[in-house]
Homo-oligomer: A and B are copies of this chain.
């Protein structure tokens, strides 16, 4: 009898419902406010941007929301994704801990993002929408929506943060292979883009700016809606398929995680693996440590303020209460482009305030060191974003070694790094620099937070 390494679920055991933690929260999320009136918004306020089914998911408190059958059919191309025990990494670290990772890089776009791109495209197609706009950082979200759009006959236009657009031309080629159009942001296609280019023609862009551009196009075109790859409740909801599968797979493995780890940019892959476990806890189950790992150069959860803020730079979006570095904050151009967002999902921020999760931050060289170690042990080269989770898992495994405690660690390996090899090249050549945000800029961005009556 040999040791089992990989835990697979048959298609027949793919979850049929998403798990909605709103049903189990001890306190509800703070209200979302209209950017003009500062009053709580209703579903109708979001209609210019999203189809009603997604708006209803955004505000639902129903515990289980069915996954439409055509969406599950698409998921079968790669789901259920594998849960893998990192036996070689454990050995390399000499830890008594067991390390498991859920591997979302098996999707066509190479990350967890299709988990929400596919249902978002499907609900839009059902509502008769013909065009979708979106933003993307590293391109994982943009290529995922491009893929999903190609399946349901929807035109996709992607505003990609300029620094990533320049660093990662292969992601753009992937979006174009799926039939999408991709433009560097800030662009001269929108008022918000033109305003920024007028001030700084070489602006590196940010997710906040790209969101402004995509939202502006959707809001000003009747046949066009907008899709967001993270942050919103319905996006996090769609990712819960990851954690639900992981619960079943950990049972197959006969283990139960003591610590669960995910990297956080907007918060969606983290929520995907974490929320179903947290839901069990909120319904009276066992308490586990849950750790969010973010980049030290864009540390919304560890250094941001918990306050109402805009989701974008041009202040076109509603206000949500979240951990934020300020909507005008532009993070340095480090390689984990998917984590370069000024805010954190309101839901993740809420969990942090409730003391249900921890947060920590690392610099990129430490994360790439962890990623290279992982690649040489496990074969898979993680995406720069995922390296943050790998780093978090290694820190926990070494803590277990120091304390001689055989704990079980689970982390979400949210994507592979095949489109990020320039960053690995730079790391191998010793050319990768740790990056610091500007403290003065952060202070200024935080001082500019909107004032909202209590």
Contact = CB atoms under 8 A, between A and B. Distances in A.
Interface of A: 2-6, 8, 10-12, 69, 72-73, 76-78, 84, 88, 106-110, 114, 147, 150-151, 169-174, 176-179, 372, 375-376, 378-381, 416, 418-419, 421-422, 424-425, 428
A88 B379 contact: no
B77 A110 contact: no
Nearest to A86: B77
A418 B173 CA distance: 10
A76 B428 CA distance: 28
Contacts of A378: 77, 108
Given A418-B418, A418-B419, A428 B5 contact: no
Contact of A170 (B2, B12, B106, B170): B170
A69 B177 contact: no
Contacts of A176: 424-425, 428
Contacts of A73: 2-3, 5
A5 B76 contact: yes
A110 B69 CA distance: 30
Contacts of A425: 169, 172-173, 176
A93 to B, nearest CB: 16
Contacts of A173: 421-422, 424-425, 428
A8 B6 CA distance: 12
A10 B372 CA distance: 28
A3 B76 CA distance: 10
26 contacts: A2-B69, A2-B72, A2-B73, A4-B76, A5-B77, A6-B11, A8-B8, A8-B10, A77-B84, A77-B378, A107-B379, A108-B379, A108-B380, A114-B379, A150-B376, A151-B376, A151-B379, A169-B422, A170-B418, A172-B425, A173-B425, A176-B425, A177-B381, A178-B375, A418-B419, A419-B421
A374 B267 CA distance: 32
B11 A4 contact: yes
Contacts of A4: 11-12, 76
A254 to B, nearest CB: 15
A109 B381 CA distance: 9
A413 B178 CA distance: 18
Nearest to A72: B2
A424 B177 contact: yes
B151 A88 contact: yes
Contact of A428 (B6, B108, B169, B177): B177
A106 to B, nearest CB: 6
Given A176-B428, A381-B174, A6 B77 contact: yes
A271 to B, nearest CB: 23
Contacts of A169: 421-422, 425
A148 B362 CA distance: 30
A76 B6 contact: yes
A-B pairs, 3 with minimum CB distance: A108-B379, A173-B421, A170-B421
Contacts of A421: 169-171, 173-174, 177, 419
A10 B110 CA distance: 23
A109 B380 CA distance: 8
A394 to B, nearest CB: 17
A69 B76 CA distance: 31
Nearest to A84: B77
Given A173-B421, A177-B424, 15 more contacts: A4-B76, A5-B77, A8-B8, A107-B379, A114-B379, A169-B422, A169-B425, A173-B422, A173-B425, A174-B381, A174-B424, A176-B424, A176-B425, A418-B418, A419-B421
